[in-house]
């Protein structure tokens, strides 16, 4: 998977896409909130009230998409402190990739690179 992931991302320019940031948002962990609120010099609660809501799984997610931190040029304005879920997306290089197949199914609908990775994987195992 690491090899397929690396090959796909060599051929993918996320700055031409940004579909993940436009159509879905990351989960924000407590550590993400502390780090990003600090970056904006905001109180954590103010950051939460301004940008986040609690979803049906009790996780903090964005109030709206496209992500408010996405620029018109598709650059992330908080790239250095972005949520962990953003830096790992689409998670196709996870060591335990086989344990997140439901998540991957969702991500192939969002992410052209993840789609290509899964298609290449299927060809390799001749599905």
Write down the least CB distance from residue 25 to ligand SF4, Å.
Answer: 6
Which residues here bind ligand SF4, judged by CB under 6 A?
12, 14, 17-21, 25-26, 67, 69-70, 76, 78, 82-83, 86, 89-90, 110-113
CB of residue 38 to ligand SF4, shortest distance in Å: 15
Give the residue with the Cβ less far from ligand SF4, 23 or 126.
23
Nearer to ligand SF4, 113 or 118 (CB): 113
Which residue in this structure is represented by tokens 């992410």?
A: 111
CA–CA distance, 83 with 87 (Å, rounded to integer): 7
Strands, E assignment, 4-79: 52-54, 60-62
| CA separation for the pair 106, 30 (Å, rounded) | 24
Q: What is the DSSP letter of 49?
A: H
**What's the min distance (Å) between Cβ of 125 and ligand SF4?**
22
């Amino acid at each position: 998977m690491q090899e397929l992931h690396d090959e796909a991302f060599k051929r993918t320019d996320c700055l031409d896409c940004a579909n993940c940031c436009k159509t879905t948002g990351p989960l924000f962990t407590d550590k993400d909130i502390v780090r990003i609120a600090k970056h904006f010099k905001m109180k954590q609660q103010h950051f939460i009230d301004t940008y986040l809501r609690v979803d049906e799984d009790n996780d903090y997610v964005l109030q709206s998409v496209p992500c408010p931190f996405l620029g018109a040029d598709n650059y992330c304005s908080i790239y250095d402190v972005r949520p962990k879920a953003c830096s790992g997306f689409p998670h196709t290089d996870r060591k335990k990739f086989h344990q997140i197949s439901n998540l991957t199914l969702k991500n192939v609908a969002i992410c052209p690179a993840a789609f290509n990775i899964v298609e290449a994987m299927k060809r390799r195992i001749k599905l």
